[in-house]
Amino acid sequence: MNTTPQSDSVLEIRNLFIAYEPERYAVKDVSASIKRNRITAIMGPSGCGKSTLLRGMNRMHELYPNIQTKGDILLDGKSIFSMSVIELRRRVGMVFQRPNPFPNMTIYENVVAGFSLNDIRLKKNQRDEIVENALRNVALWDEVKESLFRKGTFLSGGQQQRLCVARAIAFNPDVLLLDEPTSALDPIATSKIEDLLGELKKKYTLVLVTHNMSQAARISDDSMFMYLGELVESGPTGTLFTNPKDSRTEAYLTGKFG
């Protein structure tokens, strides 16, 4: 680990194609690298393939029937398509657009759901520790420590979303994928999540899909701009926003379409 953090990439996407139907690509020939301990934002108009690309990174896209994938994604140098999805998803966690705590589980059970659903037996004190750490990491501990054994669905939307982040990081993943995690939240809850992401990047590598350009500008270190399935441009957020190389990026950033 003597390389500088900036050049250390966790995920390496190589000539990735994803098609939902034969010859209709949602992601076309995307190559990019996701850098360690940074927030990478994927931007672009609706239907540009940004969510599909994100889901490709932990193979969630394979849940759709008849999906076709070409190319490769390397996680720390190893192809994710050669790993078992179970191992992959433990190392690459995911948070979704809408908060989705398991409605049949308490807050406590939700945080350790990743373990219980994978038959990983833990001692009670280990579990307690994981729950407390994960909830402290998402700044939810003080709000819920009195009600750990109530159902997670009693929380507010923003709290539920932080609970979902806690559930994803309880495994201590390398990468956390976030698919528009604030689009269903109000501005206050959104700013709490954004602060949280800034904290989390110290421990994890974050990839964030967002509709919201100002959000990308506020919190991301690197940005990728996608259009019609192609990766148009990527680079450090500051450069991409102030000095875009591609005319399509500039058009998007100045609100000409999107």
Partner 1 sequence: MHIELTDNIKKRNRTNGRFRYLVIAGSVITVIPIFLIVGNLAVKGYRQINLAFFTQPAPDTFQAMMAASAGEVIPGGIANGLTGSLLMVLLASLFAIPLGLMTGIYIYENSTKRYARFIRSLTEILQGVPSIILGIIAYIWVVKNITRGYSALAGSVSLTIMMLPLIIRSTEETMRMIPLSIREAAFALGTPYHKMIYKILIPVSFSGLATGVLLALSRILGETAPLMLTALGSPAISFDVTRPVSAVPLLIWDFYNDPNMVSLVWSASLFLMVFVLSMNLLARSVASKHKYI
Q: Is 197 in the site for partner 1 (CB under 8 A)?
A: no
State the Cα–Cα distance between residues 141 and 71, nearest whole angstrom.
Answer: 41
Query: What does the alpha-carbon distance between residue 115 and residue 125 come to, in Å, rounded to a whole number?
Result: 14
User: CB under 8 A: which stretch of 89-97, 135-143, 200-208, 219-227 binds partner 1?
Assistant: 89-97
- Should residue 171 be labelled a site residue for partner 1 when binding is judged by CB under 8 A? yes
104 touches partner 1 (CB under 8 A): yes
Residue 90 binds partner 1, judged by CB under 8 A = yes
Q: Which of 11, 43, 164, 185 binds partner 1 (CB under 8 A)?
A: 164
Given candidates 47, 70, 78, 117, which one binds partner 1 under the rule CB under 8 A?
Answer: 117
Sign of the dihedral defined by the CA atoms of residues 174, 130, 170, 134, in that order: negative
Which one, 117 or 122, has the nearer CB to partner 1? 117
- For CA atoms 147, 151, 152, 156, the dihedral sign is negative
Stretch that binds partner 1, among 10-18, 70-78, 160-168, 250-258 (CB under 8 A): 160-168
Cβ pair 78, 87 in contact under 8 A: no
Contact 120, 172 (CB under 8 A): no
**181 makes contact with partner 1 (CB under 8 A):** no
Phi, psi of 61 (to 5 degrees): -65, -20
Among 21, 70, 79, 85, binds partner 1 (CB under 8 A): 85
Taking alpha carbons only, the member of 137, 114, 111 closest to residue 201 is: 137
Interface ranges with partner 1 (CB under 8 A): 58, 60, 63, 65, 85-90, 93-94, 96-98, 100-104, 113-114, 116-119, 153, 164, 167-168, 171
